[in-house]
Amino acid sequence: MNAPESLRKDSLYLAETHEVVNVARDLVDYNPYLQDAALQEAVRREGAEWAHHDLASFGAMVGTAEYLELGVLANRFGPELDTHDRFGNRVDLVRFHPAYHALMKTAIENGLHSSPWTDPGPGAHVARAARTYLHTQVEAGHGCPVTMTFAAVPSLRTTPQLAALWEQKVTARVYDPRNVPDADKKGLAIGMAMTEKQGGSDVRANTTRAFPVGSGGPGEPYELVGHKYFVSAPMCDAFLVLAQAPGGLSCFLLPRWRPDGSKNPMQVLRLKRKMGNVSNASSETELRGALAWMVGEEGRGVRTIIEMVAMTRFDCMVGSSAGQRAAVSQALHHCSMRSAFGKVLNQQPLMQNVLADLVLESEGSVALTMRIARALDHRADEREDLLVRLCTAVGKYWICKRTPDHAYESMECIGGSGVMEDSPFPRLFRESPVNAIWEGSGNVQCLDVLRAMHKVPAVVEAFFGELGKARGANATLDGYIGALRKEFADLGELEYRARDLVDRMALALQAALLVQHGLAVVADAFCASRLAASGRHNYGALPRGVDCAAIIARATPRA
């Protein structure tokens, strides 16, 4: 039966089921530096104002739609391993999507792996941390080899003859991903291989053995036999590896190729199938007589590699702070465009409470991270050095630990679309626990805080000295610091109580920084919600009297 004439005439109109309205659009083509007041203030305050224009240009570049797409592609098309070529030769070749290489190239050419070593001085670590913070918001996985390369330098410097051979190429702003010997390259990347099957946190359990090729000792060659269960970025040109030498657990530099141009037998067995951090390859390996050179003294492997680990822990703070900023930016952006029940979401009182609370978390994280960056720039000053020693563990623990909840709550602000794979949230959420687990998991960080207090008691006074700078500005904070002091006086069951203690240290430090330097509206809300209350509230439970609209307006990025 034919449709009536009138229906046929209107059929085009009728086939259109609906108009798409009241939806957000992608947060692209914006400048994540210039639209981040908290970051800009921290950069200025902590000594890197000179980098403002560079950071603004960098922000403009990484915030374009085209550049942000690299992060999506590098994770959609993850790395693949070829153990052998088609003729049966061992190649240990990991292939990455071109987007991953593009991200690596930007990172290396902008000195994210080296600028504080090649151009030290006031603000050097702060500027690098800010740049890393911006780049991590595009994509987190590629940051692993960049961080490890950056972090390896202090360990390498413990052995001047090795530093002389490697440092110039390791810090060069040249990205060369070819699977060829280091001698044929102008720029090199460094990885790290400590963890074994039977023990990760407790590296003293390592069973990989190191046999001296000649006399042995610092800077001398050894052959390594054993396995490493987590080796991220296995395409790095060399790795700092822990192994048992005759004189005890020692650190070694193990290149992927031998000086004669043959492959060094650090064989990649398989790539890990990770829930997050997908763009980054992490592998399981076996070392079958791999040639490596001793870094630092024999039997002092942990002491040597801890120089590297301290830096990677700092970068976990940067990375998780960036993850928080990326997540809350998305939430703020979405809620500025979506209406429900007759009001834009960011005008609904309860959503304002949630959004402002998420912003407070992110502001506390960036303030603490950038303060430690400043301390890294001034390590010759004993108090700053003590702060680095203690507060890197405090900050690594706290910021990384707070990030998964923050990612999830930000996702919920988007509603159902936030759960979908074509939204940024699955990637942010899957990435969110990783920093907390690697480079020393939560308990290990808290125990490290106790270790630092035990070995160098002066760290405690340096810590309270830092808190003292905020004295008198906020009564809640003053009371909180007083109570914290008392906690330190009670030495009973310290190990059992370590998390509780470090939670409070982190909150006190963040609050003290915000009270000294932050906008009053942010600092007061932070203290009221995290110090006066239990400190363990769900997001969106800010007390009355907080100017949520002002906090939201300051942090909302505009595309």
Ligand X SMILES: Cc1cc2nc3c(=O)[nH]c(=O)nc-3n(C[C@H](O)[C@H](O)[C@H](O)COP(=O)(O)OP(=O)(O)OC[C@H]3O[C@@H](n4cnc5c(N)ncnc54)[C@H](O)[C@@H]3O)c2cc1C
43 vs 436, beta carbon nearer ligand X: 436
Measured from the CB of residue 175, what is the shortest distance to ligand X in angstroms?
19
CB of 446 to ligand X, least distance (A): 8
Q: Per rule CB under 6 A, is residue 505 in the interface with ligand X?
A: no
Nearer to ligand X, 312 or 352 (CB): 312
Asked whether the beta carbons of 311 and 319 are under 8 A apart, the reply is: no
Contact map string, positions 232 to 251, toward ligand X, x by CB under 6 A? x-------------------
Q: Break the chain down into helix, strand, coil percent, rounded to 5.
A: 55, 15, 30
Rg, Å, the chain Cα set: 25
Task: Tell me how far, at minimum, the Cβ of 228 lies from ligand X, in Å.
Answer: 7
**Cα 104 to Cα 428: distance, rounded to the nearest angstrom:** 19
CB of 373 to ligand X, least distance (A): 23
306 near ligand X, judged by CB under 6 A: no
Residues 6+ positions from 459 with CB-CB distance below 8 Å: 386, 387, 389, 390, 452, 453
279 close to 100: Cβ distance less than 8 angstroms: yes
Q: Does 132 bind ligand X (CB under 6 A)?
A: no
From CA 541, how far away is CA 539, in angstroms rounded?
A: 6
438 part of the interface to ligand X, by CB under 6 A: yes
Q: Would you count residue 535 as binding ligand X (CB under 6 A)?
A: no
CB of 345 vs ligand X, minimal distance in Å: 34
Among the listed residues 253, 229, 267, the one whose alpha carbon sits nearest the alpha carbon of residue 167 = 253
Segment contacting ligand X by CB under 6 A, of 57-65, 227-235, 301-309, 402-410: 227-235
Among 174, 437, 475, 520, binds ligand X (CB under 6 A): 437
Q: Which of 48, 124, 130, 194 contacts ligand X by CB under 6 A?
A: 194
Q: Which amino acid is at 240?
A: L
Q: Is 403 among the residues that bind ligand X (CB under 6 A)?
A: no
Does residue 140 bind ligand X (CB under 6 A)? no
Return d(Cα 269, Cα 267) in angstroms, integer. Answer: 6
Q: Which of 368, 472, 342, 510 is nearest to 39 (CA)?
A: 368
Q: Would you say 541 and 409 are in contact if contact means Cβ atoms under 8 Å apart?
A: no
**Out of 35, 106, 244, 277, which residue is the one contacting ligand X (CB under 6 A)?**
277
Pick the closer one to ligand X by CB: 470 or 498. Answer: 498
User: Contact between 434 and ligand X (CB under 6 A)?
Assistant: yes
Question: Rule CB under 6 A: is residue 200 a binding residue for ligand X?
Answer: yes
**Burial label, 347 (beta-carbon count in 10 A; 0-12, 13-18, 19+):** middle
Q: Is residue 442 a contact point for ligand X (CB under 6 A)?
A: yes
9 Cβ neighbours under 8 A, 6+ residues apart: none
- Nearest residue (CB) to ligand X, 30 versus 239: 239
CB of 416 to ligand X, least distance (A): 29
User: How many binding residues for ligand X (CB under 6 A)?
Assistant: 24
Of positions 74, 156, 231, 278, contacts ligand X by CB under 6 A: 231
Which 3 state secondary structure label does DSSP give 435? helix
Contact pick of 50, 230, 464, 488 for ligand X (by CB under 6 A): 230
56 or 450, CB closer to ligand X? 450
DSSP 327-392: HHHHHHHHHTT-EETTEEGGGSHHHHHHHHHHHHHHHHHHHHHHHHHHHHHTTTSHHHHHHHHHHH
Contact between 311 and ligand X per CB under 6 A: no
**What residue is closest to ligand X based on CB?**
200
Q: Which residue has the tokens 């939204």?
A: 423
- C-beta separation of 24 from 50 below 8 A: no
Tell me the C-alpha distance between 178 and 187, whole Å: 11
213 sits near ligand X (criterion: CB under 6 A) = no
Those residues whose C-beta lies under 8 Å from the C-beta of residue 461, and which sit 6 or more positions away, are none
Q: Is 435 in the site for ligand X (CB under 6 A)?
A: no
Q: How far is the CB of 519 from ligand X (least distance, A)?
A: 36
Q: Which of 43, 170, 172, 192 contacts ligand X by CB under 6 A?
A: 192
Structure tokens at 305: 């590699």
Stretch that binds ligand X, among 4-12, 22-30, 117-125, 439-447 (CB under 6 A): 439-447
String of contacts with ligand X for each residue 36-55, x by CB under 6 A = --------------------
Cβ proximity to ligand X: between 43 and 242 the closer is 242
Residues that bind ligand X (CB under 6 A): 191-195, 199-202, 230-232, 274, 277, 282, 434, 437-439, 441-444, 447
